[in-house]
Amino acid sequence: MDGSLTVAVVGATGAVGREMLSTLEARNFPATRVIALASSRSSGLPLPFRGGEISVQELKEDSFQGVDIALFSAGGGTSERFAPHAVRHGCVVVDNSSAWRADDRCPLVVPEVNAHALKRHRGIIANPNCSTIQMVVALNPLHKAVPIRRVVVSTYQAVSGTGQKGIAELDSQVRQMFNMTDPDVKVYPHRIAFNCLPHIDVFLENGYTKEEMKMVRETVKIMEDPSVKVTATTVRVPVFYSHSEALNVEFARPLSPVEARVILHDAPGVVVLDNPGENIYPMPVSATGEDEVFVGRIRVDESQANTLNMWVVSDNVRKGAALNAVQIAELLARDNLLGVPDPMAFLN
């Protein structure tokens, strides 16, 4: 990486966009120029970066002239509209929305799992769902050792997964309830303060939510193995940052907890915290602000052969979004994978 790159962050004023800027700075990403893009109502807003400030510019179709990499975190509709124009200008897009994840032209990448997929990008690379990212980081090293047959995952997802509006709603509702007033319910279908909602995204005809089916489909695409079966129940909980997941994993043959701990201890991006006797296990409060995926409570499922239970926690705004996108950008620069082979590939 020669330090001559120009990077744009789209949706720079949101929770993930701000974290992308912070991550670029913290990891010393070799860009000589970083551009912050957002809607017209945020134009001119100063954002801290590298000891100074950068001014937000209005996102337009021609905003990507001279830009090498664009990190998108502005919603699916914005991505569908503007990402093709970025590609038209020769800019490689790393998109955090769900807009391109199922598109066969777009690699769906978690660097610790399938970095090789970047070599076949055509201009747009999809960042997976935050809950999927942390799950596959933990599952993939185990799957390499002993093939996984089936995963049952139940998630406990923080309100930051909904962005700044989710954070604000939980904060507001907690304050209102302590002041003995009825909480305002705007973002979620029911009160989130001191509550759990088994409802993330819309419900589909099969009874699952869209979030749950994202985990099912994205896991198969990332791990490149359709034989891995996944079923999910996703739940929003009154936690500000970091998603937690309870995984029940069936393998093709027995895998002991000791073997699993050894494998995960040596896995990239994973930290094993697993000593229940000393009350050591992953928690959202300790994962928040950290880059790794934390795994603990690894134990045998006594009701099912060849099956382990485990508890997985990670900061959804960092590894689940901003960090994963920046890691992809780092690999694109390091491996000379910048540039777009077909600039018109995504324009209708």
Q: Which fold has domain 5-127+322-334?
A: Rossmann fold (3.40.50)
150-164: b (≥16 Cβ within 10 Å) or e: bbbbebbbbbbbbbe
CA distance 96 to 120: 18
Taking domain 131-316, whether its CATH number is 3.30.360.10 is answered by yes
Name the residue among 116, 109, 114 with its Cα closest to residue 141. Answer: 114
- Confirm if 82 and 100 have CB atoms less than 8 A apart: no
From the list 62, 60, 67, 80, the residue with the least C-alpha distance to 8 is 67
Helix (H) or strand (E) holding 133: helix 130-145
Same fold, 5-127+322-334 and 131-316: no
- The pLDDT value given to residue 3: 53
Which position among 85, 121, 143, 243 bears the catalytic label?
A: 243
pLDDT at position 348: 73
DSSP state of 274: -
CA distances from 222 to 44, 126, 218, 344 (A): 38, 11, 6, 26
Burial label, 227 (beta-carbon count in 10 A; 0-12, 13-18, 19+): exposed
- Per-residue pLDDT tens digits for 252-291: 999 999 999 999 999 999 999 999 999 999 999 999 999 9
Buried residues in 184-218 as b, exposed as e (16+ CB within 10 A)? eeebbeebbbeeebeebeeeeeeebbebbbbbbbb
Domain ranges in the chain are: 5-127+322-334, 131-316
Check residue 1 and give its pLDDT: 43
Among 159, 158, 157, 139, residue whose Cα is nearest residue 149: 139
With b meaning 16 or more CB within 10 Å and e meaning fewer, what string describes 84-123? Answer: bbbbbbbbbbbbbbbbbbeeeebbbbbbbbbeebbeebbb
Tokens of 321: 């979004």
User: DSSP strand E in the chain: where?
Assistant: 5-10, 31-38, 46-49, 52-55, 57-58, 69-72, 92-95, 124-126, 148-157, 229-236, 243-251, 270-272, 293-300, 307-314
CA distance 233 to 245: 10
Query: Residue 251: beta bridge partners?
Result: 148
Q: Catalytic residue at 91? A: no
Active-site entry in 130, 143, 196, 199? 130
Give the sheet arrangement for strand 307-314, strand by strand: 229-236, 148-157, 243-251, 307-314, 293-300, 270-272
**How far is 32 from 192, CA to CA, in rounded Å?**
42
Which parts of the chain have pLDDT scores under 70?
A: 1-3
Contact 73/17 with Cβ under 8 angstroms? Answer: yes
Active site residue 265: no
